[in-house]
Amino acid sequence: MNNFIPNDLVSIIMPCYNGGGYLDAAVRSVIKQTYVSWELLIVDDASTDDTPRILERFSDYKNVRVIRNEKNLGVSMSRNRGLQESTGRYIAFLDSDDTWSTDKLEKTSDDLWHPEKLAKQISQLQKSNLSISCTYYDIINENGIKLGNKRTNTQRITFKDNLRFNQIGNLTGLYDCEKLGKVFQSNIGHEDYLMWMTLLRLSDCDVVSESLASYRLCGGVSSNKFKAALWHSKILFSYLDLSFHKYLFFMATYAFNGVFRR
């Protein structure tokens, strides 16, 4: 018997730096959720554009809270600040950050959620009795035109599955912190991946087999795959405590997927 309640609070962590033209759409994609029990914690990472003015539009929303960093701390530390002040049972992430993504080495502006994202994830978690959830997601361009779709290879992601390559898109991930505790991010490359791997040691991840979010790609993909491989290597070897043979195997798997899954 599970103890999920339909109106359990979801804390949504949104780091924001110079969100500019896409910030409004990202916030409104949360406001439009059919699941109504949520709080949105927007961490303005010392933006220098019109981000503060845009955020003023949401000052009348009691469940939208803006936290401002006095100086630029970066995406991982900004997420951690929002996480520290979160009060919900569930933790989810949505970015609005005009920076180079350390996870994908791509220029991003914001993520968007589809209206039924939270409702479908929490409903399915209730049935699976797991503590982590993710969904498929679309990739769109600056104009909202769909460029592709990201899916998982399995409907239940294990720690071992995710060693091969990251299957949990951070914009779709959600976890039960009452069961798993709050997991803070380290200030390293691929910080999202390390966080999800830490959580996957505690619970498998249930997959909603539907695109319920959109990842906006602006500015193209970086060719610096060598830097990404170094980040991944450090996590496997230094943070996940794999044996040397397993480290070599999963680095080879990562390299293979890096070539053929782009």
> Per residue in 62-117, pLDDT tens?
999 999 999 999 999 999 999 999 999 999 999 886 553 444 444 445 699 999 99
Element (H, E) at 222: none
SS3 44: strand
List the beta bridge partners of residue 174.
92, 133
Does residue 8 or residue 144 have the better pLDDT? 8
Share of residues in the chain with pLDDT > 70 (%)? 87
SS3 32: coil
| Range scoring the smallest mean pLDDT among 94-98, 128-132, 210-214 | 94-98
Which pair of tokens denotes residue 217?
Answer: 């790609």
Cα–Cα distance measured from residue 118 to residue 210, given in angstroms and rounded to the nearest whole number: 12
Nearest Cα residue to 75 out of 19, 10, 143, 141: 19
Query: Residues 111-130: what's their mean pLDDT?
Result: 95
